[in-house]
A and B are shown apart, each in its own frame.
Chain A
Amino acid sequence: MSLFDKTADELQRLIKAGELSFADVTQEAFDRIRELDPEVAAFLQLNEEQATARAKELEQTPASERGPLFGMPIGVKDNIVTEGIETTASSRILEGFIPIYDATVVRKLKDAGMVITGKLNMDEFAMGSSNENSYYKKTKNPWNLQTVPGGSSGGSAAAVAAGEVPFALGSDTGGSIRQPAAFCGVVGMKPTYGRVSRFGLIAFASSLDQIGPVTRTVEDNAKLLQVISGHDDMDSTSADVPVPDFAAALTGDIKGLRIGVPKEYLGEGVSEGARQAVLDALRVLEEKGATWEEISMPHSKYALSTYYLLSSSEASSNLARFDGIRYGYRTNQAENLLDFYMNTRAEGFGDEVKRRIMLGTYALSSGYYDAYYKKAQKTRTLIKQDFDQAFEKFDVIIGPTTPTPSFNIGEKIDDPLTMYANDILTIPVNLAGIPAISVPCGFDNGLPLGLQIIGRPFDEETIYRTAHVFEQATDFHKQKPGLWEVAAK
């Protein structure tokens, strides 16, 4: 047993009863990290001294002023800036970079009394689906250390799956929260574009990026989204819409819920295990009063190409700021300023990042702009329309999060197109800007599978309600990787 077998709610009750202190909870996180992280390799930086001091300080706050996640430890993906804690986005080009301010989400975590334990590994600049693109280390999947945790928020998902921390923040541009959540058997939510401020998130593709919560249960997930949501003057794309009480949406009642199941999401490339797990999940939801129908999302197959053109184009522009002058890595090999830029960037970026910068630069260059970039913006419209039409008739859309469970480290790293295909079921959601969750829904050869539940813009409530009903009716979320118990006291 570990303290992190419990939900935040259960931990708060023990704290209130005086059986547990905030210091104990923080201590548990660092004990487990010390025991497990040499193998899992989820953390890049630890914040132990500050976290321990903070946990002690929190005891002074009267119980009446404590929110639901007060005193809970959390890990933060390394592309979210944290004042005074090195933030690299897992890139050499930001080695040694110490941010001078907190991202809005980090400020919100602190305001809610959460304790920041450290920074989590990822694919460099969030480009990747396996965490193998980190300059610093390769995070392992806690369910099988030979396999990848997924990516790009692989550190976030692995840390939560191993019980190193009960909470983590990730970011999702094309599936980077949901895909690793599926691979690691945890709950990951990509909120509606604009729900969460991107201020202080190191930009990959600005029209697609969104920060979101990674947790072991749906209830904890809803509570963490509550903490980080809301309009922010510092992000002109953050939406000025009311933030509902997400936890209150977990009513346990989905009678009359209408589910659309795109046949394209269960088609070619989707493993038998993943297909079967989704069909089983639909049966569970049916028993709880939902109905489902097969539908068609005819433009699904164009999503991957659309995504890589748009995200790489945006990235080529966003990553132009990394020039070695004001912060980060700088080359020693330069005769003049042009050399300085060229060498700093060549030495500072990894191959996948270079590939995407070049693809984006090419797609935006004169003579190709209309054929690639503009064409992709038009197909994005068609993909979004597929969802608009489906949501006229259905409350949620359901399918697998990924076509297959996790794969071996090294298996796909030399073949970009095969690697990109991991995200084929998550990418359409980012293009449409809508919210979606991945919840554990089964196993294939001992590796977790994820169920993806997609909702209308700003209707995370229906997603959470559906995910919660499914979770409570099944026991997938209660299963833990073998190493979980290793670290238990």
Chain B
Amino acid sequence: MAKITKEKVTEVAHLARLAISEEEAEHFAEQLEAITNAMELLNELDTENVEPTTHVYPMVNVLREDQAEPGIPRELALKNAREHEAGQIKVPNVLD
């Protein structure tokens, strides 16, 4: 049984780009441990020689002619951005 610690949850939350408080980390640790423990049911299956399924039907690359097609007009692309200026989306400082 995997033990999911508060520290592990904080680490995973960081990877997932989710800010998380101490109390939340504790709460989620308990729940995620219960969930992953339930999932360890799968370990009773021998899958040594089983091929993994990523997609149910055979997938092939879908290609098209390499021709430029019109993109989204700039004003539409900016329509849902909360802050923009001079045709560009504003974000906080990227460099310190």
Contacts and interface: CB of A to CB of B under 8 A. Distances in A.
Interface of A: 96-98, 100, 193-194, 207, 233, 236-237, 239, 299, 301-302, 304-306, 308-309, 316, 320, 323-328, 330, 334-343, 345-346, 349, 354-355, 357-359, 361-362, 365, 372, 374-382, 384, 416-417, 431-433, 457
B81 A327 contact: yes
A295 B43 CA distance: 25
A381 B57 contact: no
Contact of B9 (A320, A337, A358): A358
A125 to B, nearest CB: 14
Contacts of A194: 57
Given A237-B55, A416-B31, A433-B57, A379 B47 contact: yes
24 contacts: A96-B80, A193-B57, A207-B54, A207-B56, A236-B59, A305-B39, A305-B40, A305-B41, A308-B39, A339-B92, A340-B91, A343-B19, A354-B13, A358-B9, A358-B12, A362-B12, A365-B12, A378-B45, A378-B51, A378-B52, A379-B42, A381-B53, A417-B35, A433-B57
B23 interface: no
The B interface is mostly helix, strand or loop, or mixed, namely loop
Contacts of A416: 31, 34-35
A172 to B, nearest CB: 14
B80 to A, nearest CB: 4
Given A325-B81, A340-B91, A359 B55 contact: no
Interface in B21-60: 28, 31-32, 34-36, 38-43, 45, 47, 50-57, 59
Contacts of B13: 354, 358
Contacts of A336: 92-94, 96
The 9 A-B residue pairs with the shortest CB-CB distance in the complex, in nearest-first order: A433-B56, A377-B52, A327-B80, A346-B19, A378-B47, A342-B19, A305-B39, A236-B62, A361-B16
Contacts of B79: 98, 100
A323 B94 CA distance: 14
A381 B51 contact: yes
A375 B42 contact: yes
A345 B54 contact: no
Nearest to A360: B16
B93 to A, nearest CB: 6
A98 B81 CA distance: 10
Contacts of A334: 92
Contact of B47 (A207, A301, A361, A382): A382
Contacts of B4: 362
Contacts, number: 158
A193 B56 contact: yes
Interface string B58-80: 01001010000000100011011
A301 B16 contact: no
B89 to A, nearest CB: 6
Given A97-B80, A326-B89, A378-B50, 6 more contacts: A308-B39, A325-B81, A327-B80, A339-B19, A362-B4, A382-B47
Given A374-B52, A382-B45, A382-B50, A359 B35 contact: yes
Contact of A100 (B20, B47, B76): B76
Name the residue in B54, B56, B72, B94 with the highest tally of chain A Cβ atoms < 10 Å from its Cβ: B56
A121 B14 CA distance: 30
Contacts of A100: 72, 76-77, 79-80
A378 to B, nearest CB: 4
A305 B47 CA distance: 15
B24 to A, nearest CB: 8
Contacts of A375: 42-43, 47
B45 A379 contact: yes
Given A239-B57, A326-B89, A382-B50, A309 B20 contact: no
Nearest to A305: B39
Nearest to A235: B62
A207 B56 CA distance: 8
A272 B92 CA distance: 58
B23 to A, nearest CB: 12
Nearest to A430: B56
A308 B9 CA distance: 18
